[in-house]
C-alpha cells in the first residue's frame, strides 16, 4: 500500500498561484509521469510530494499516512534529482549509506542494503569511487541506488535523464522501465520529454500553465487528446491543425474538408460553426481519388523507415503527412490526401476537444 493522494492541493509563490485545487491519485505500483513544458507546475507537484515545497492548502497522503506537515526525510519517499546531487566528498557507498545512517540503521544492515542495490544496478565495482570519477550514466545509476537502499514507499524522479546524451538516455530509459517492472514500486516521474512519458508511463498527467490538461494512459493521451494543447504537445512531429466548419447533412453531423467535401462524423457534442480539425501525420493517406484535401509537397524529410512530407494545402495551411520510407514523391509534386476519420480530433474555440471519434 504505497499510493499517493493529493486532495485539493493549492500552492502559491507570493501572489502567484502555481497549483490550484489539484486532486490526483498515484496508485500503488504505478509509474505516473508528470509531463509538461517549463513552468507548467510539474516539478512543484513533485517537490510538494517530497516535502521540499510546503502545501498551502489541501492534503497529501502517502501510503495512507497524512504527510503534508511531515519533513521530507520522514515521508518515506526517495528522490532522484536532475543533476543527481551526489555528495562530491563521499564515495559511492558513502553516498548510499548517508541516508541510512541518518535513520540509525546498524552497519551490517547498511552494508547489506548497499550490496543488494549495487548488485541490482550492476555497479558493485564502483562502490569505492567518488562522483567525480564517474561518467554521467554511472552517476545516474548511483543516484537511483541511493534511492533504492532507502526502500521507500515511492520514488520521485525529477527529469533524471535530461543531463545524459541521446544514446545513453535511450539506454537508461529502458533500464528504468526494467527496474520498475522488477521492483513494482510507485513512481512519480517529471519530464518535459514526451518520448520518456510515452515509453515509461502507466499513466501520464499532462500539465500546462499550472493546471492539468489531461490524465490518461499514453495511448489515450496520444490518440484522444482532451485539449488542443495536449494534441500539439504530445507526438513528434506534432498534430496538424486545420480550420474547418461543421455542417449538418440531414440528421448527421459532419465537417467540410478543405476540398469542400463533407465528411460524416460520429454523433457527439460537436461545437457548431468554426472548429479546428486535428489529425496526426500518420493518419493522413496519399490517395489517387476521393481526396479530402489537395496540396503540393514543399519539403521532404527522409527518415529512413518513413518520409515526412510538408504539404501546402491548396485551401488551408502547411501540414505534415507521413509516407512510406521509399516515398517516390518529389518537391512540388501535387498530392491528394485522405484523412482517417477514426483518428480525427476536433477542437472548439475554447481549445477543448468536442469529439472523440475513436471512442464512438
Partner 1 sequence: MMGGRFQITRLGAGLLTSLTVLIALAWVFPLYWGVISSLKPEDEVVRPYIELWPQTLTFDHYYSALTKSLIGLWYINSLATAVGVTAITIFSSMLCGYAISQLNFPGRRYLHILILACFMVPTQTLIINHFVLMAHMHLLNTWLGMILPQLIYPVIIIIYKQFFDGVPKEFREAALMDNASEWRIFYRVYMPMNWGITTALAIVVFIWTWNNFLWPFLAATQNETMTVPVGITQVYNAFGVYYARRLAAAVLAALPVVLLYLFFQRQVTQAITLSAGIKG
Binding site for partner 1 (CB under 8 A): 50-52, 71-74, 77-79, 81-83, 85, 87-89, 98-99, 102-103, 150
Q: How far is the CB of 139 from partner 1 (least distance, A)?
A: 13
Q: Which is nearer to partner 1, 150 or 356 (CB)?
A: 150
Q: For partner 1, which is the closer residue by CB, 82 or 195?
A: 82
Q: Which three cell numbers stand for residue 207?
A: 500539465
In the bound complex, what is the minimum distance in angstroms from residue 140's beta carbon to partner 1? 14
Pick between residue 51 and residue 137 the one whose CB is nearest to partner 1. 51
**Which lies closer to partner 1 via its Cβ, residue 52 or residue 170?**
52
**Shortest Cβ 138–partner 1 spacing (Å):** 17
Residue 129 CB, nearest distance to partner 1 (Å)?
A: 17
- Give phi and psi for 268, each to the nearest 5: -160, 175
Go through the chain and tell me how many residues it has: 360
CB of 82 to partner 1, least distance (A): 8
Q: Strand pairing partners for 356?
A: 345
Q: Of 79 and 291, which has the nearer Cβ to partner 1?
A: 79
State which residue, 83 or 269, has the beta carbon closest to partner 1: 83
Whole-angstrom distance, CA of residue 330 vs CA of residue 349: 36
Q: Strand order in 31-35's β-sheet?
A: 77-80, 154-158, 186-191, 31-35, 203-208, 211-216
Of residues 208, 213, 215, 206, the one with CA closest to residue 39? 208
Kindly provide the residue ranges of all beta strands, DSSP E only, lying in 217-352, ordered along the sequence: 240-249, 252-256, 262-264, 274-279, 284-287, 293-302, 306-313, 318-324, 334-339, 345-347
In the complex with partner 1, the residue whose CB is nearer, 99 or 266, is 99
CB of 46 to partner 1, least distance (A): 11
Find the shortest distance in angstroms from Cβ 210 to partner 1.
Answer: 22
Residue from 181, 184, 163, 161 nearest 171 by CA? 161
Rounded distance between C-alpha atoms, residue 356 and residue 182, angstroms = 36
Shortest distance (Å) from residue 75 CB to partner 1: 9
Nearest residue (CB) to partner 1, 163 versus 343:
163
Contact 81, 147 (CB under 8 A): no
Q: Please report how close the Cβ of residue 115 comes to partner 1 at its closest, in angstroms.
A: 19
Could you give the dihedral angle defined by the CA atoms of residues 185, 190, 196 and 200, in that order, rounded to the nearest 10 degrees?
Answer: 20
22: Cβ contacts below 8 Å, ≥ 6 apart: 6, 8, 9, 10, 45, 58, 212
Cα pseudo-dihedral 28, 29, 30, 31, rounded to 10: 140
- As measured in angstroms, the least distance from the Cβ of 50 to partner 1 is 6
For the chain, helix (H) and strand (E) counts, in that order, are 8, 21
Q: How far is CA 27 from the centre of its chain?
A: 17
Question: Distance (Å, rounded) from C-alpha 160 to C-alpha 191?
Answer: 8
Closer to partner 1 at the Cβ: 150 or 180? 150
Pairing between β-strand 186-191 and β-strand 154-158 as defined by DSSP bridges: parallel
Q: Of the two residues 21 and 128, which places its CB atom closer to partner 1 in the complex?
A: 128
Amino acid at each position: 500500500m504505497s499510493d499517493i493522494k493529493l486532495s485539493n492541493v493549492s500552492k502559491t509563490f507570493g501572489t502567484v498561484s502555481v497549483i490550484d485545487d489539484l486532486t490526483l491519485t498515484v496508485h500503488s505500483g504505478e509509474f505516473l509521469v508528470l509531463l509538461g513544458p517549463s513552468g507548467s507546475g510539474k516539478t512543484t507537484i513533485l517537490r510538494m510530494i517530497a516535502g521540499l515545497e510546503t502545501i498551502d492548502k489541501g492534503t497529501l497522503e502517502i501510503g495512507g499516512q497524512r504527510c503534508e506537515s511531515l519533513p521530507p526525510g520522514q515521508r518515506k519517499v526517495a528522490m532522484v534529482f536532475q543533476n543527481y546531487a551526489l555528495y562530491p566528498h563521499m564515495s559511492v557507498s558513502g553516498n548510499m549509506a548517508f541516508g541510512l545512517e541518518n535513520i540509525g540503521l546498524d552497519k551490517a544492515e547498511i552494508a547489506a542494503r548497499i550490496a543488494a542495490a549495487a548488485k541490482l544496478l550492476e555497479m558493485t565495482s564502483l562502490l569505492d569511487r567518488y562522483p567525480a570519477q564517474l561518467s554521467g550514466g554511472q552517476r545516474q545509476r548511483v543516484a537511483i541506488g541511493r534511492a533504492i537502499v532507502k526502500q521507500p514507499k515511492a520514488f520521485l524522479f525529477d527529469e533524471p535523464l535530461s543531463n545524459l546524451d541521446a544514446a545513453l538516455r535511450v539506454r537508461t530509459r529502458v533500464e528504468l522501465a526494467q527496474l520498475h517492472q522488477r521492483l513494482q514500486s510507485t513512481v512519480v516521474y517529471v519530464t518535459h520529454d514526451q518520448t520518456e512519458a510515452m515509453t515509461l508511463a502507466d499513466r501520464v498527467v499532462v500539465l500546462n500553465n499550472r493546471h492539468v490538461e489531461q490524465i490518461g494512459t499514453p495511448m489515450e493521451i496520444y490518440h484522444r487528446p482532451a485539449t488542443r494543447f495536449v494534441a500539439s504537445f504530445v507526438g513528434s512531429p506534432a498534430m496538424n491543425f486545420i480550420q474547418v466548419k461543421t455542417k449538418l447533412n440531414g440528421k448527421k453531423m459532419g465537417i467540410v474538408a478543405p476540398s469542400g467535401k463533407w465528411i460524416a462524423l460520429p454523433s457527439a457534442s460537436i461545437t457548431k460553426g468554426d472548429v479546428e480539425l486535428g489529425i496526426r501525420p500518420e493518419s493522413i493517406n496519399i490517395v489517387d481519388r476521393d481526396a479530402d484535401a489537395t496540396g503540393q509537397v514543399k519539403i521532404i524529410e527522409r527518415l529512413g523507415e518513413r518520409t515526412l512530407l510538408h504539404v501546402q494545402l491548396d485551401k488551408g495551411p502547411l501540414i505534415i503527412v507521413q509516407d512510406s520510407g521509399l516515398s517516390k514523391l518529389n518537391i512540388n509534386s501535387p498530392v491528394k490526401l485522405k484523412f482517417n476519420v477514426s483518428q480525427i480530433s476536433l477542437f472548439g474555440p475554447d481549445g477543448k476537444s468536442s469529439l472523440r471519434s475513436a471512442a464512438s
